[in-house]
Amino acid sequence: MYVSMKEMLWHACANKYAVMAINCTDMEQARAICYAAAAECAPVIIDISPRQMKAHATPEVMVPMIRAIAEPLDVPVALNLDHGGEYKDIVRCIKAGFSSVMVDASSYDFEENVRRVSQIVALAHAHGVSVEAELGHVGQAAAGDGRSADMYTNVEQAREFVERTGCDCLAVAIGTAHGAYPDDFVPHLDFDRLAELKEALKMPLVLHGGSGAGEENIRRVVELGINKINVCTDLFKHQRKAMHDKLNEQPSIDYMDIQMHGEQAATEYIRAYMRMIGSSNRYQFDFTGEDFD
């Protein structure tokens, strides 16, 4: 099934688990993501960022390919623009057939963030496309971001933000940061703030910068109400290492065989992660996509 993020994230919210949102730049990764989801009976989200889109994962090529892989499956697969910034990029993705977009205006002030997100919500919802927004700011691990509460999401502001924008899910800043943390640093997360945000908003919440956050932290944020976890760095590192090791072991390996080896390694990594965050076996019998109170 090729669907928007909306119903799957409300189902996750009602049943207290999280859905993986995985960055993808080619067919092997798209296949790994979709087939891992099918094997685990799990919902999944494919993320493509503007940087990946500009490199080679163009919307016009990626959308038909991903739809062709996802549509025959029994599990829901959404395709989301990750960190959409420029209006023209976001509109291009909606036109190309993305089922969801993120508007990241988190580096602007509150009013400008509201304005930018509201504008896209009006357009996206008219096309059945769901919208993720971010309040507070999840920065870069390499820059030491995430260690100061200055950028964390404010609970009262979040309530007003969601009411005014009508966004479908909200990325919150509680202490994680994007990319790999230096020297095996494990971030300290503000769990109390997350619990307060969930209590105030009662809607799907998103964690960015999950890579390197540690399994214990990930399990805890899922218990406290995170319903979408973005995974990029950890998976790409795992897949690259598997391919690198295989090439060392078998330097004359056929090109297609090394591609398939990378796809297999990614599939296994994703399946294990899906089990950890509780999204496995959610789409066998009981999907209704409604009711959260």
208 binds Zn ion (CB under 5 A): yes
Nearest-angstrom CA–CA distance, 132 and 246: 38
Select 116 or 208, whichever has its Cβ closest to Zn ion: 208
Nearest-angstrom CA–CA distance, 191 and 198: 11
Residues forming the active site: 82
Q: Measuring CA to CA, which residue among 75, 21, 45, 12 is closest to residue 203?
A: 12
Question: What tokens appear for 105 in the block?
Answer: 């205006």
Per the CB < 8 A criterion, the answer to whether 104 and 140 are in contact is no
Closest approach of Zn ion to the CB of residue 178, in Å: 5
Per CB under 5 A, the segment of 93-101, 109-117, 121-129, 202-210 that binds Zn ion is: 202-210
Per CB under 5 A, the segment of 27-35, 155-163, 204-212, 249-257 that binds Zn ion is: 204-212
Closest approach of Zn ion to the CB of residue 50, in Å: 11
Per the CB < 8 A criterion, the answer to whether 152 and 136 are in contact is yes
Q: Considering CB under 5 A, how many residues would be counted as binding Zn ion?
A: 1
Select 237 or 246, whichever has its Cβ closest to Zn ion: 237
Nearest-angstrom CA–CA distance, 50 and 128: 21
Closest approach of Zn ion to the CB of residue 133, in Å: 12
Select 118 or 230, whichever has its Cβ closest to Zn ion: 230
State the residue for tokens 């919500």.
Answer: 121
How buried is 248 (Cβ within 10 angstroms: 0-12 exposed, 13-18 middle, 19+ buried)?
exposed
Nearest-angstrom CA–CA distance, 48 and 227: 19
Question: What tokens appear for 216 in the block?
Answer: 């214990």
Closest approach of Zn ion to the CB of residue 82, in Å: 6
Select 6 or 208, whichever has its Cβ closest to Zn ion: 208
Closest approach of Zn ion to the CB of residue 73, in Å: 25
Select 193 or 208, whichever has its Cβ closest to Zn ion: 208
DSSP at 182? G
Q: Nearest to Zn ion by Cβ — which residue?
A: 208
Contact footprint for Zn ion (CB under 5 A): 208
